[in-house]
Amino acid sequence: MQPFGKKQVRSTCQDPNKHLKHNRKHRWITWMFPIGGLLALVWFLLRVIPKPSRAMYPCQRVAFPLASGFVIWLTGAIGSIMAVRKAKRCFAQSRYVLCVILIGVSIGSVWLAQNITTEKVLLADEPVANAPIGIARGIHPGRVVWVHNPDATDWDGPGNGHWWESSHTNQAVVDRMMGRSIQALSGQGNSAAAWDKLLKHFNKTHGKGNAGYKPGEKIVVKINFVGCIRVWDRRPVTKVEDYNLRSLDYMNTSPQMIIALLRQLVDKVGVRQTDITIGDTLCYFPNEYYKLCHDKFPNVRYLEYLGKFGRTAAKLSSVPFYWSTPDAAGKTTDHVPESYVQADYLINMANLKSHHDVAGITLCAKNHYGSLVRKPARLEGYYDMHKDMPYTKPGNGHYRPVVDLMGHKHMGGKTLLYVIDGLYAGKHAKERSPRKWNSSPFNGDWSSCILVSQDPVAIDSVGFDFLRTEWDDAPHKSGTNDYLIEAALADKPPSGTFYDPDHKGNVVRLKSLGVYEHWNNPANKQYSRNLGTGKGIELVKITQAVKETAAVVVYTGNKKELSLVAGANR
């Protein structure tokens, strides 16, 4: 008996047409990509040309890389074939040098097409410009105001004091930036009228009639003190010095930005200090920030985890918070902070930061990760919010817990104003101090800006565009903008999730939480309402020259207006 291997070889050779038959049988496989690519191209064009916003739909996000890959492959194939044919003619004519060049062109065409196609597939979730989705919110729907003034910051970096010190962050300039942003958001000429319009719009859209602020109504301001997290710190707190800043240059919410907002609320709206609660429930309110704020507003309630040394302790209410995912089943139920439940209004003041270990970016939506008073999930049995973030679940069309946070009636449902502190932007978790920005108009200086909006999706969309333009790492990770798409389409999200954080089970689905859109380009920073092409975002840009005596240029829609407000303290 012959060995098994030799018998197999001999039997194979007995049928010389076997391989040919096999190739004919599976020849259809080679046509799968061109046929699939052609169909994807036709489908994409038929759906997107009549309505460009469909480019954001999950089916079109799947079709686009295949369609674009097909076009590139076809172009490369045609170029390669033409080069080979010309090479044959040159060879017959003894033009050998040109023949070799053409063969190189043929090979290069195939190689280039293959590499570009691969890149297109890797960038399948590349944002589509000026294709808004969702329903815009606000007095001026979808409006986001961006105020940039380099005079607000004057710091050489670590080793030259600290960015939050009065000598490095100009309180007077920050006060003016805050006032101008509120005025531009509402379209009013002074801050008192601006706040009154914001409050009346909020109350009217929340079933409270055309009423402004009433004495005694309470306001909570959620800031971001992530560099001061106390919740898992086992070290005892026995003396006031235990509240000193440990990470001296971390990118927390600026005390100057906090003071500017408090001045607006107290001086322009007329809120009593005792009716304002400001802080971060998972963190301590550090001495350095507390002194700056408390010296000017001693009766404000400064919220924090422990409530020591004059601060107010964060407490849980009896109001539950439900996660819209089966993964939360059997976990400890979350509850909303007591101060949130007692408040009539909430202001979400986030920071302009990327987020390298989990989310890609951390803006207003993720600021609420610090709103639930509890220890990490691994310690207390709570649902782990981080397991459904882009780094653990990349791509689009997934359940995103931040949408629940944005939509709960005592969180997003009570939010009067969204603010992003962009004085000193940085890379959260990866670095311990902020970075200067290289993109225009920052040009090697600190970001020195503030963003405000009534639309939670729109403001995070603009923040995402700024961060994505400046840095090529975390903000570019697949799925970073997925929560914005889910929130914009919360009534019918791509993931199919029934978002209902207010009820146990699927009772009342969230409506669209705002409008998502990607700007046209980093130079012009224009959205569909600026261009007059759609009902998406309107970015109002207020840029200040280096000297306070210069004028301010305000861009609204297609109009360019020169507003002589420089030097005014509103």
Q: Is residue 174 part of a domain?
A: yes
Same domain, 59 and 31: yes
Whether the Cβ atoms of residue 186 and residue 194 lie closer than 8 Å to each other: yes
Same domain, 82 and 181: no
Question: Rounded distance, CA 353 to CA 251, Å?
Answer: 8
Q: Is residue 53 part of a domain?
A: yes
Is it the case that residue 242 has pLDDT exceeding 90? yes
Helix residue ranges, H only, 427-565 = 456-470, 482-488, 528-531
pLDDT at residue number 364: 98
Question: Rounded distance, CA 446 to CA 146, Å?
Answer: 15
Instruction: Show which of 72, 102, 122 is a domain's final residue.
Output: 122
pLDDT mean across residues, the chain: 84
pLDDT at residue number 188: 96
330 against 234, higher pLDDT: 330
**Over residues 247-260, mean pLDDT:** 96
Same domain, 110 and 225: no
| Total Cβ atoms within 10 A of residue 409 | 15
Q: Is residue 568 part of a domain?
A: no
Task: Find out whether the peptide bond into 390 is cis, omega within 30 degrees of 0.
Answer: no
Whether the Cβ atoms of residue 500 and residue 477 lie closer than 8 Å to each other: no
Same domain, 542 and 503: yes
The tens digit of pLDDT for each residue in 358-379 reads: 899 999 999 999 999 887 777 7
The residue segments making up the domain with residue 193 are 133-563
The tens digit of pLDDT for each residue in 266-321 reads: 999 999 999 999 999 999 999 999 999 999 999 999 999 999 999 999 999 999 99
The tens digit of pLDDT for each residue in 474-485 reads: 999 999 999 999
Whether the Cβ atoms of residue 305 and residue 282 lie closer than 8 Å to each other: yes
pLDDT at residue number 65: 57
Same domain, 117 and 161: no
Q: Is residue 128 part of a domain?
A: no
- What are residue 501's phi and psi, to 5 degrees? -75, -10
3-state secondary structure 251-317: CCCCHHHHHHHHHHHHHHHCCCHHHEEEECCCECCCHHHHHHHHHHCCCCEEEECCCCCCCEECCEE
pLDDT at residue number 19: 35
At 60, the pLDDT band (50, 70, 90 cuts) reads low
Q: Is residue 512 part of a domain?
A: yes
Same domain, 499 and 459: yes
The tens digit of pLDDT for each residue in 461-473 reads: 999 999 999 999 9
501 against 118, higher pLDDT: 501
Q: Is residue 408 part of a domain?
A: yes
Tokens 């805050």 identify what position? 178
**Beta partners for residue 419, in sequence order:** 349, 452
Q: What angle separates helix 255-263 from helix 171-186, to the nearest 10 degrees?
A: 50
pLDDT at residue number 269: 98
**Beta partners for residue 301, in sequence order:** 277
Closest CA to 269 of 310, 212, 313: 212
Instruction: Show which of 122, 150, 185 is a domain's final residue.
Output: 122
Whether the Cβ atoms of residue 251 and residue 163 lie closer than 8 Å to each other: no
Whole-model pTM? 0.78
Q: Is residue 396 part of a domain?
A: yes
Question: Rounded distance, CA 476 to CA 390, Å?
Answer: 11
pLDDT at residue number 112: 58
Q: Which residues contact 296 (CB under 8 A, 6 or more apart)?
A: 259, 262, 263
Instruction: Show which of 72, 100, 122 is a domain's final residue.
Output: 122
| Total Cβ atoms within 10 A of residue 558 | 10
Q: Is residue 570 part of a domain?
A: no
pLDDT at residue number 432: 87
Same domain, 306 and 190: yes
The tens digit of pLDDT for each residue in 444-462 reads: 999 999 999 999 999 999 9
Same domain, 325 and 449: yes
* Number of compact structural domains in the chain: 2
Distance of CA 204 to the CA centre of its chain: 28
